[in-house]
Structure 1
Amino acid sequence: MNRSQLAHFLKLSADPEATLTAASTDELGIIVDALYRNLDTPKPVFGAQDWYDLATEELARRTSPGSPELYRAASSPDAYGAA
């Protein structure tokens, strides 16, 4: 995701928490990566730091032991149908 795509994404999302909560864990990883890369530039997109903080908190919540999201991922069948 480049700078203009990130800026467009942030601008269209009225509620960052709802957007991040609704994202899949894979999508959340992509968002965190894009935000991190953007924050490492001389002029980050306005609001990127707040989004990054919220996104990393959500990602940490999902990957912590006992997380319902982690349990769903572990209990769902894989590509070969095995649990």
Structure 2
Amino acid sequence: MDLLTRINQHYQELTEQERQMITALQKVDLAWDGLTSSELAKKLYVSRASIFRMLKKLELESFAELKYLIETNRIEL
């Protein structure tokens, strides 16, 4: 399942902050290949825990899975 489908399926479960993080992901120009969760947290002005809570709600197993879905699909969030 691609990331956009996951976001649409779980949108109602996401908090306002998590929705803002998803919006910010599409606005921030990132080099995903070497990006760590700590670096992403800094760029989005959130904690790593916030990122991982969002991933869990989107049924993603890891930050690496998020990176993979973004890199392979190159989707518009």
TM-score, with length taken from structure 1: 0.33
Greater length-normalized contact order (CA 8 Å, ≥ 6 residues apart): 2
When Rg is computed on C-alpha atoms for both structures, the one with the higher figure is: 1
TM-score, with length taken from structure 2: 0.35
